[in-house]
Amino acid sequence: MSVVPSGKINAMAAVWDATQRSWTLTLWSSQATSAHAVIVDRAAPSEPVATIPMFRVGDVWTAVIGAGSVLDADLYGFRVHGEGPRFDPAKLLVDPEATEIWFPPGHDRDAARIVGRDTIGLSPYGVLPMSAPRTAMAAGPRHSIDDLVIYEIHVRGATMCAGDVDERLRGTFAGLAQHAERIRALGVTAIELLPVHQFDPDEGNYWGYMPLAWSALHNGYAANADEYCGAADDEFRAMVQAFHDRDIEVILDVVYNHTTEEDEVGPTLHLRAIDDAAYYILEPDGLYNDDAGCGNVVRAAHPAAGALILDSLRRFADLGVDGFRFDLGSLLGRDFYGQQQRTSPLIDEITAFAATRGVRLIVEPWDLAAYQVGDAFPGRTWAQWNGKFRDDCRSFLRAENGAAAAFAQRILGSPDLYPDEPWRSINFITAHDGFTLHDLVSYEHKHNLANGWGGTDGTDDNRSWNCGWEGDDPPADIAAGVRALRMQQMKNAFVLLALSAGVPMILAGDEFAQTQGGNNNPYNQDNATTWLDWTRGGRFGELTEFVRELLAVRRVGGSTPIVLHGVDEQPDLSETSHSIAWQRGNLYVMANAWWESLEFAVHADGDWLFAMSSAAPVSAYDNSTRRVTLAPRSTVVLRRPCATLAAGATAAR
């Protein structure tokens, strides 16, 4: 049985010493018997300029490289000999702490799968830094929980089809910066970027969830990556500043639970041939644990792996990032042997780091073997993606029996999961993995053949309803009715999301009915399937304006605890109920998911004004009768007369 290591491991990143004009390269491995640093020039990436033995102190291997000895060469990698089945000194390994990666013209991911195959000139290199790290950016805005509205967006997909962005900048950090004002105008206060870690462009994961180097930005998102070293850092910082200037926080989706090395037959690129058992959770038979569903699971409880994770977080915080969302974060809380635990030293360290730097922590608290929504996750002060909100809201939206009682918990901020802490609930109905909102109301089944898995990939539990026709092209005789109902249902979804307790997260493009053609797992679709089609804003401008006005209305609601009602004073949470109402401070919300009209009585003192609705009420609200009749499958929002909308906002139709 392996001995559980203790203690901390210091940062290992390559360091430039301007006084000595040299670099210090370091590598951690407890099982290596020798290691060499290999320096190459971009002009001849298959020819070593220098191969320098690294000296060992404890489990840290070090080499000092004089700039004069390598001329203009600025690329490096490692060769490592050691005791264990997955050491392969023929492999040129990328530094797991590298802050910039360069892929040679002959890059060949498959060559790295072949044991004993020399991969110099075929595998990625780290780039030697030519200066000391830059000063950390100033802290950005920090919104109160009542003001926080998150907008999940993919850097490349955001602007590949954006006609108002310079063609050269589309799909880049710089391109997204040009859309900062458009995003601000919607009313969101934070963006959550899908992963921007460097990934292997040959791996085929468009989303970016197969990271190669945690501390390096993906060069494919930098417009000037081929022009000079550090371009990705410069453009990322400028993008962050563009959002900060508009009072928008920048949150990163980070992937520390697995890497791009896949399983036993995956490419050998770094960790598996540096110290396999330290960096990955291995089963008793020596195979990789795969609770991430991506081939491997990082042994985050090991100090060496934990150091890589914390170094990456510090680097992104220095680049101005305001918060982190941890993909499959439940895996980071596992113990050394991969078992779930109630407390985790690494989670505690990350929590302390966040407190020191003033950044948000959000976790996706599940993986293939664990579902830790609520207090089962070791980080009790972290916010969480609330998958139960997604499921229960979808069920209520399509009028399932029994859904009203479950969704009532979500409206209240999920007290069954987060007692007295609704701020911990990141509420969402759609996200990058799954249907878009338009597809949720247009497809009852996934349409994933394009992904290459025969339609077997992606969840079958979509809880969607197509409003009477599967797909985006209903026949002429029903088209008007189907499309009107879909518009109504999308508006309903936004109301339920925005006005429940907790923090709403909107999927980018949902405000103009972005479609993926029914594909609910387009992880490998780097094309028009996933790229935001901003021209849909013309066809669905009514929806965009509704969302903008809804978020303005949300801001006047206040933080008063939510009080539930129904068509009468008490909510009907029976099996056959399809309606609910609630007061959120200065707002009163009524939701009728039923397919017939319903009359609601308003059971909150004082006068109320009509604010907005997803469909015109059958009878308008009257303060004298305190009643309003909602159309089938519709929502109505009232507001206090004292609740003044933000400047520039108008009450919706």
Q: Which residues are annotated as catalytic?
A: 327, 364
35: tokens are 């290691």
Contact 292, 329 (CB under 8 A): no
Q: What are phi and psi of 536, to 5 degrees?
A: -65, -15
Beta strands at 211-217 and 249-254: parallel, antiparallel or unpaired: unpaired
Contact 59, 109 (CB under 8 A): no
DSSP string for residues in 321-389: --EEEETTGGGGG--TTS---S--HHHHHHHHHHHHHT-EEEE--B-SS-B-TTTTSS-TTSEEE-HHH
Gap between the Cα atoms of 162 and 536, Å rounded? 11
CB atoms within 10 A of CB 421: 17
Contact 624, 635 (CB under 8 A): no
Gap between the Cα atoms of 288 and 370, Å rounded? 17
CB atoms within 10 A of CB 126: 26
Instruction: Read off the amino acid at residue 507.
Output: L
In the block, tokens 């939701």 appear at 591
Instruction: Read off the amino acid at residue 157.
Output: G
541: tokens are 């401008």
What does the longest C-alpha to C-alpha distance in the chain come to?
Answer: 88
* Distance (Å) of CA 375 to CA 239, 327, 393: 35, 18, 21
Contact 84, 276 (CB under 8 A): yes
Picking from 301, 297, 266, the residue whose alpha carbon sits closest to that of residue 283 is 297
Torsion angle (degrees, nearest 10) of CA 600, 601, 604, 605: 150
525: tokens are 């679709």
Beta-ladder partners of 610:
638
Residue 392: its H or E element:
helix 387-397
For residue 175, the SS3 value is helix
Contact 99, 212 (CB under 8 A): no
* Distance (Å) of CA 110 to CA 76, 90, 122, 211, 408: 20, 14, 9, 17, 51
Environment class of 353 (CB within 10 Å of its CB; exposed 0-12, middle 13-18, buried 19+): middle
Instruction: Read off the amino acid at residue 125.
Output: Y
* Distance (Å) of CA 226 to CA 101, 220, 221, 230, 428: 12, 10, 11, 10, 38
